[in-house]
Amino acid sequence: MSDLKRSPRRIPASAAKPAPPEAAAKAASGRAPRGRAPKPVDRATLVEVFRRLRDLNPEPKGELEYTNPYTLLVAVALSAQATDVGVNKATRNLFPVADTPQKMLALGEEGLRERIHTLNFFNTKAKNVIAFSKRLVEEFGGEVPNSIAILETFPGVGRKTASVVANIAFGDPRIAVDTHIFRVANRIPLVVTRTPLETQEALEAVVPDAFRLHAHHWLILHGRYLCKARRPECWRCPIADLCRYPEKTPAPVAGKRVSA
C-alpha cells in the first residue's frame, strides 16, 4: 500500500454553486433566512390585506405638516434620516416665513440653516433646498411640477421624495417606499424584493387600482406603529392571520415589561 496521501481536491471558484437570492427575506426579518425565500401572497389575500387596512383607516394622512406642494416638497426632503416629529418641529418655525420658493430664496441658506439645525445633515439639506428653490423660480415659475422625472433631477430629491410629493400633492397613485414599507411588504410578503426601488415597482404592479392611491400611507403607518422592526406587535395586528412572517411576536404576559 502506498504511503502517499492523496491531496485534497480543489474546486475552482467558477464552479462553486451561487447562493440563492434570499436578500429580501433576510432584510425583512433581520435574521439569516431559513430555506428558500417565500413567494408573495396570492391576489385574493393581497386584496383582503388592503381591504382591512382601508376599513380601519379610510382616509389615511401623512404625518409631515405642510401647507402647499412646495412646503410638502421641502418637508419630505428634510425628512431624510430624520423623524417626522423632528421635521415638524423645525418647519413650524420655517414655513410661516418661507412657504414659497421665492420667500425661501429671500431667507437664504444661512437663515434656513438656523431654522433646521436640529435635523441631521442640516447643512447639506439647506444647500439642496435653496438649490431646488432657485430652479423652481427660474424654470417653473415657482410652481412644483407634477412630474416624478423632473423632480428626481432636483438636488436632494430621489425617487421616494418625488413619489411622495406626486402622491399627496397631485393624487398620483405612486407607492413611495421607505424602510417601513420595505419591511412590511417583504414580511407579509406582498412582494419579495431586494431594494426599495424594486419594491415600489413591484407594489405598483400588483396593488389594485382601488387601493393604490392610499397604499403608501397604509403600509407606512402599519410599519411605524404595528409591524415594527425589532418587535412587531403581531398580537394586535389586523392582518396577522394573512401574514406569513414566520417569527410572529406572541402577546405579552400580563405584568411583564415588554421592551420596544
List, as residue ranges, the binding site for [4Fe-4S] cluster. 227, 234, 237, 243
| Residue in the block written with cell 386584496 | 47
Name the H helices within the chain.
23-29, 43-56, 69-78, 84-91, 101-116, 122-140, 148-151, 159-170, 179-187, 196-206, 209-225
Binding residues, as ranges, are 227, 234, 237, 243
112 to 31, 54, 66, 120, 154: CA distances (angstroms):
41, 38, 16, 14, 18
> Are 40 and 190 a contacting pair, CB within 8 Å?
yes
At residue 8, what is the residue type? P
175 to 85, 150, 181, 232, 251: CA distances (angstroms):
22, 17, 9, 22, 31
Give Dmax (Cα) for the chain. 93
Q: So which residues are the catalytic ones?
A: 160, 178
> Are 156 and 128 a contacting pair, CB within 8 Å?
yes
